[in-house]
């Protein structure tokens, strides 16, 4: 079980690796806006979990396990943002996803993905849901 | 801005008050399975936020502000559990909601409530979403 912070680091390592083909500790510190010392500590933890390989002064490399999990983390983030955007959330999408993502299990993520696929196939249903926002006051569920 | 823990306490105070008509610190400790000293500390914080009134050896009483927020917290918890159950989440509903609830804003909660109302009105749509679980593998969104 990774901590929220470990998940955020691994997600960013995966993103940077996709983007640039390699990941240096200094890039990670910059991308996450954290101190190099925090990166050093977290790299150590991710290595202990068998998610990355790292030798000092070399690039950070994802193991197979790290690559699979990193892919899931990016996917989870993307799907949740898409879900809130689809629902018509106007503000705080990034912040809400940043918090909730760590608590949602893979099976639930699949269900949310299914919901998105359903509304892609039924745009008239989505319009109906969005139109409810004009009618309903909170909370009278 | 309340902490996660303050929200959980206030939610429980609201629930106990609805259930029994009054709330004692000892009932709160028992319901949340925490030490009386933790309850004492949290009562102090909730009082500073103007959410409850409390004199030692007396009952905990919700202020108007506390009652409104407590109502929202219980509603949020209920709606999120209903949402995951509707989607057909098989395991971990309680645990997931316990974590994600604190990060979801009131406007987003209303959108999720709308989604539930939509599927109540369109059970055939819900069947279609649930049937997708049998077809799709994760993650290929
Ligand atoms: Mn996060
Ligand atoms: Mn909670």
Domain boundaries, given as residue ranges, for chain B: 4-67, 71-134
How confident is the prediction for chain B on average, in pLDDT?
A: 92
**CA B33, B104, A32, A86 torsion: positive or negative?**
positive
Tokens of B7: 């929200």
Yes or no, beta carbons of A109 and B79 under 8 Å apart: no
With 50 as the cut, is the pLDDT of residue B140 above it?
no
* Residue B62 backbone phi and psi in degrees, to 5: -75, 140
Average pLDDT value for residue range B109-122 = 95
The pLDDT tens digits for A67-110 are 999 999 999 999 999 999 999 898 999 999 999 999 999 999 99
At the topology level of CATH, where does A72-132 sit? Answer: Diphtheria Toxin Repressor; domain 2 (1.10.60)
- The CATH number that domain A4-67 falls under is 1.10.10.10
pLDDT for B141: 37
The reply to whether A4-67 and A72-132 are identical in fold is no
* Residue B107 backbone phi and psi in degrees, to 5: -60, -40
Going by C-alpha positions, the residue among B118, B78, B140, B113 that lies closest to residue A109 is: B140
- The reply to whether CATH 3.40.50.410 applies to domain B71-134 is no
ipTM score assigned to the predicted complex: 0.86
pLDDT for A86: 92
Residues 59-118 of B with CB under 8 A from A: 71-72, 75-76, 78-79, 84, 87-92, 95-96, 98-100, 102-118
Cα dihedral value B100, B104, B106, B112, nearest 10? -80
The pLDDT tens digits for B5-61 are 999 999 999 999 999 999 999 999 999 999 999 999 999 999 999 999 998 878 999
pLDDT for A79: 97
- Rounded to two decimals, what is the model's pTM? 0.88
Measure A56 CA to nearest chain B CA, in Å: 34
Question: In which band, very low, low, confident or very high, does the pLDDT at A124 lie, cut at 50, 70 and 90?
Answer: very high
The pLDDT tens digits for A25-50 are 999 999 999 999 999 999 999 999 99
Residue B74 sits at the vertex; the CA angle it makes with B69 and B78, to the nearest 5 degrees, is 145
């Amino acid at each position: 079980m990774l901590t929220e912070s470990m998940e955020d680091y691994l997600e960013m390592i995966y993103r940077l690796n996709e983007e640039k083909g390699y990941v240096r500790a200094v890039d990670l510190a910059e991308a996450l806006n954290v101190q190099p010392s925090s990166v050093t500590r977290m790299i150590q933890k991710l290595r202990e979990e068998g998610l990355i390989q790292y030798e000092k002064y070399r690039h950070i490399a994802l193991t197979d396990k790290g690559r699979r999990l990193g892919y899931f983390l990016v996917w989870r983030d993307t799907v949740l943002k898409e879900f809130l955007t689809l629902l018509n959330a106007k503000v705080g999408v990034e912040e809400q996803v940043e918090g909730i993502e760590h608590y949602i299990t893979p099976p639930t993520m699949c269900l949310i993905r299914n919901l998105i696929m359903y509304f892609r196939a039924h745009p008239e249903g989505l319009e109906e849901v969005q139109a409810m926002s004009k009618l309903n006051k909170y909370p009278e569920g």
